[in-house]
Amino acid sequence: MVAMPVEEPQSVPETTREPAVRLRGVSKVYGSFAALRNVSVDFAPGSSTMILGENGAGKSTLLRMIAGLIVPSHGTVEVFGLNSGDLPRGRVAYMSHAPMLYDELSAMENLKYFATLQCDGACSCVGSPEMALRAVGLDPKLTRPVGQYSQGMRQRTALARALQADPELLLLDEPFSNLDVASAHHMVELLADFKTWPVSGPVSGPVTGGGRRTILLTTHQAHFGEPIADITLTMQAGRILSAAAGTAATGPVAAGSVGTGSMATGAPA
């Protein structure tokens, strides 16, 4: 086991809004390797955060932790005031760096299949596959299997699969990977449009998220993410090194968007 450093997490600046996501002292250890090291950070509802870092920095682990796909070795993760593993389906959607689609099925067939996995009949977490496909610029009537799609079309289909749940929190792991410039810019436009969608439907849990859509994305291609990023985090070796206001920010980061006890800067940027 890796001995994790003992650090006193710094206080997060007071804010009038509860965070959409809150991590406190979070570490993830695999044998002798620490993928995350004592990360403490808040993400405000309605914010768009771009997470940068080299391979192995902990970016994907952080997103998978927030999505509830893996559990922390130490620390706590809360999403909308709830343990990430207890969150009602549909409030959070995660898109992996790989499309994770069935090549022999059409886009519509993929979305309908994943909808059956996402909803157990006791929730109204799944929206319209047709609307999701139209939102990303794909024809719902297209019967061609996705195995014959271009990389850009496959990425848009994967995004539609996430959007059909009408999530309040969208987690994207390398969404611009393998896209040409035109397709990447189209993806940015889709995400900017997603931020304007009204939040509707029943809300569970003590925190509503403020009725705002929140995006966290990882990328090696900062120039694509910058237009929609309110906040840019940089990670290295499982720690957050810095946080800075992005080009899309409308106010200072210190207003409560991000706080961390593991930044090299020693305080929220």
Name the class of domain 21-98+169-255: alpha beta
Q: Return the bridge partners of 22, or none.
A: 42, 78
Distance of CA 206 to the CA centre of its chain: 21
Residue 63, SS3 per DSSP: helix
Write out pLDDT tens, residues 196-251: 888 865 444 444 445 689 999 999 999 999 999 999 999 999 999 999 987 766 54
Burial group, residue 205, by CB count within 10 angstroms (0-12, 13-18, 19+): middle
Kindly report the backbone phi and psi dihedral angles of residue 217, in degrees, each rounded to the nearest multiple of 5, phi listed first.
-135, 145
Percentage of the residues of the chain whose pLDDT score is greater than 90: 54
Residue ranges of domains in the chain: 21-98+169-255
Please check whether residue 262 is in contact with residue 247, taking contact to mean a CB–CB distance below 8 angstroms.
no
What one-letter code names the amino acid at 32? S
Write out pLDDT tens, residues 20-76: 999 999 999 999 999 999 999 999 999 999 999 999 999 999 999 999 999 999 999
Cα–Cα distance for residue pair 209/19, rounded to 1 Å: 7
